[in-house]
């Protein structure tokens, strides 16, 4: 009898040590999930599996692309055996990017300190130095010229609720460069005295109308324009893709964090060095933007009354 009791104790002890780690990991995962749900609830975000995955990614020490689906292969035509990595976009092969002249990349930021940050953190890879001309645009005129003459243009700044891009007079600008759609939607507290309200949406936003003839007409010959300003997808995508269909557009779904400016430019340089398709470069940026996506969703729900059909990405490509 004693032997049976001893054997049972030894078996129980052995089982405990065998299953101790899985049990502890299960309990730890349960606690982490509970904390994540409570945190999302305090942000007024529903604890969907997508939001929980974003929260886990936000708190992860390393950025992973495991949960990011591969970018759609829009570059390859039906039946083509061409290597996608030979293509930057559906119109550019990597061999053609800098075949005749250096690839010109113009960068404008409304933050005066960005140029200093970029120069310290963003380096053109030595192998590409003869092939890439990266320059920082200082004035509105520089920006407009870059749209007409450069290959890639990036704008870091404010969307002004779709009213347009602002260029400070102190930096050679004329103030607001009107873009966007003919009808703007905005929370009531953002209305200006000059805004003509023509109605309201079902979620309480004001509809402000303006004449299409008042919108700026730009000369756009660049192949890719990164309009990195808060909610630029909602404000500028339709207008841009209709007016300038030959120029790829990269827009922001949610709020834009200026800290991300350097990361975007660095990812672009790394992508060019590694011959990544443009979709892959954007997918990598999205993978590192979990916090921006979550906090942007909070703003969409609280400020703009949007609680459904929220994009799982920060950036979109058109």
Determine the pLDDT at residue 182: 85
Q: What is the pLDDT of residue 128?
A: 92
What are 84's two structure tokens? Answer: 């996608």
Residue 116 has pLDDT above 90, yes or no: no
| pTM of the complete model | 0.82
Please give the Cα distance from 278 to 272 (Å, whole number): 9
pLDDT at 69: 43
Q: Is residue 80 over pLDDT 60?
A: no
pLDDT number for residue 78: 43
Tens-place pLDDT, residues 201-257: 988 889 998 877 667 889 999 999 999 999 999 999 999 999 999 999 999 999 998
Lowest mean pLDDT among 18-32, 82-96, 204-218: 18-32
Report d(CA 113, CA 315) in Å as an integer: 23
Contacts of 64 (CB under 8 A, 6+ apart): 57, 287
Residue 205 φ then ψ, to 5°: -85, 150
- The SS3 assignment for 104 reads strand
Pairing of strands 224-228, 248-252: parallel
Using an 8 Å Cβ cutoff, are 263 and 271 in contact? Answer: no
Residues 76, 89: Cα–Cα separation, whole Å: 10
For position 68, what pLDDT does the model report? Answer: 42
Average pLDDT, the chain: 84
> In the prediction, which pLDDT does 16 show?
53
Higher pLDDT among residues 28 and 189, named by residue? 189
Closest CA to 293 of 50, 39, 71, 111: 50
Of the candidates 285, 265, 247, which has an alpha carbon nearest to the alpha carbon of residue 151?
A: 247
Taking residue 58's Cβ as centre, other Cβ atoms within 10 Å add up to 16
In the chain, where do the E strands start and end? 87-89, 92-93, 103-109, 132-137, 152-156, 164-167, 175-178, 183-186, 196-200, 206-209, 224-228, 248-252, 315-317
Q: What percent of the chain has pLDDT over 70?
A: 82
Q: What is the pLDDT of residue 32?
A: 72
Asked if the model's pLDDT at residue 46 lies above 80, the reply is: yes
Higher pLDDT, 29 or 72: 29
- Mean pLDDT over 167-171 rounds to 90
pLDDT(70) > 50:
no
The reported pLDDT for the residue numbered 145 is 97
Question: Quick one: average pLDDT of 148-156?
Answer: 97
Per-residue pLDDT tens digits for 123-142 = 899 999 999 999 999 999 99
The pLDDT, as a whole number, for residue 10 is 57
Give the pLDDT confidence of 250-307 residue by residue, as tens digits: 999 999 988 899 999 999 999 999 999 999 999 999 999 999 999 999 999 999 888 8
Q: Between the CA of residue 107 and those of 49, 122, 281, what are the distances in Å?
A: 37, 12, 17
Residue 5 pLDDT > 80, yes or no? no
């Amino acid at each position: 009898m004693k032997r049976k009791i001893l054997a049972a104790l030894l078996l129980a002890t052995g089982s405990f040590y065998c299953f101790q780690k899985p049990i502890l990991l299960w309990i730890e995962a349960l606690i982490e999930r509970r904390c994540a749900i409570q945190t999302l609830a305090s942000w007024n975000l529903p604890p969907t599996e997508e939001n929980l995955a974003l929260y886990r990614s936000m708190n992860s020490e390393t950025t992973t692309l495991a949960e990011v689906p591969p970018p759609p292969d829009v570059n390859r035509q039906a039946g083509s055996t061409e290597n996608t990595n030979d293509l930057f976009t559906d119109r550019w092969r990597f061999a053609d990017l800098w075949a005749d002249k250096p690839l010109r990349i113009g960068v404008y930021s409304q933050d005066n300190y960005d140029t200093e940050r970029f120069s310290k953190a963003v380096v053109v890879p030595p192998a590409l130095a003869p092939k890439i001309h990266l320059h920082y645009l200082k004035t509105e005129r520089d920006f407009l010229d870059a749209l007409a003459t450069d290959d890639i243009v990036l704008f870091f700044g404010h969307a002004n609720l779709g009213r347009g891009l602002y260029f400070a007079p102190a930096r050679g600008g004329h103030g607001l460069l009107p873009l966007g759609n003919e009808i703007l939607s905005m929370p009531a507290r953002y209305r200006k005295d000059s805004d003509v309200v023509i109605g309201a949406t079902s979620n309480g936003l004001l509809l402000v109308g303006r004449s299409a003839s008042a919108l700026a007409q730009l000369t756009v010959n660049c192949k890719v324009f990164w309009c990195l300003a808060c909610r630029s997808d909602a404000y500028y995508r339709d207008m841009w893709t209709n007016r300038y269909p030959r120029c790829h557009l990269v827009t922001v779904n949610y709020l834009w964090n200026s800290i991300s400016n350097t990361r975007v430019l660095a990812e672009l340089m790394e992508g060019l060095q590694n011959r990544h398709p443009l979709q892959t470069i954007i997918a990598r940026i999205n993978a590192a933007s979990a916090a921006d996506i979550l906090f942007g969703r909070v703003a969409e729900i609280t400020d703009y009354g949007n609680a459904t059909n929220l994009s799982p990405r920060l950036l979109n490509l058109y």
